[in-house]
């Protein structure tokens, strides 16, 4: 975690690539998590995500599938996804698409 005087230096942090089509930089402090996440075409979630997220689209575009209802997001859009089964979601990336998101999350105990 690179926090100096509460400033986060994402530039100094290495990218983590947990799966094809996604890479991220993560900072955790207490129960708060901040992630810089890049999704690209080829990313596919196996299961529905039921975690809560608040975020902003920094660059690019993507869609989220909310159990059959698809919402599209572009640079500058801000979103708030509540935690739980009723808001389960999957990221959908079209061919040639890349998106950079800043996600704010609360970690469970």
In the predicted structure, residue 16 carries a pLDDT above the cut 80: yes
Q: What is the pLDDT of residues 59-103, one digit of tens each?
A: 999 999 999 999 999 999 999 999 999 999 999 999 999 999 999
Distances (CA, A) of 65 to 10, 27, 71, 100: 28, 26, 7, 18
Q: What is the pLDDT of residues 24-68, one digit of tens each?
A: 999 999 999 999 999 999 999 889 999 999 999 999 999 999 999
Under CATH, which number does the domain 3-106 receive?
2.60.120.10
- pLDDT value for 73: 97
The structural domains of the chain, with segments of one domain joined by +, span: 3-106
- pLDDT: which is higher, 5 or 31: 31
């Amino acid at each position: 975690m690179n926090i100096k005087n509460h400033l986060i230096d994402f530039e100094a942090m290495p990218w983590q690539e947990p799966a094809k089509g996604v890479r991220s930089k993560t900072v955790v402090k207490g129960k708060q998590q901040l992630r810089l996440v890049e999704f690209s075409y080829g990313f596919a979630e196996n299961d529905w995500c039921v975690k809560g997220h608040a975020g902003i689209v920094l660059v690019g575009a993507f869609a989220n599938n909310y159990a059959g209802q698809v919402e599209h997001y572009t640079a500058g859009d801000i979103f708030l996804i509540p935690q739980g089964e009723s808001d389960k979601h999957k990221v959908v990336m079209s061919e040639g698409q890349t998106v950079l998101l800043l996600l704010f999350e609360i970690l469970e105990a």
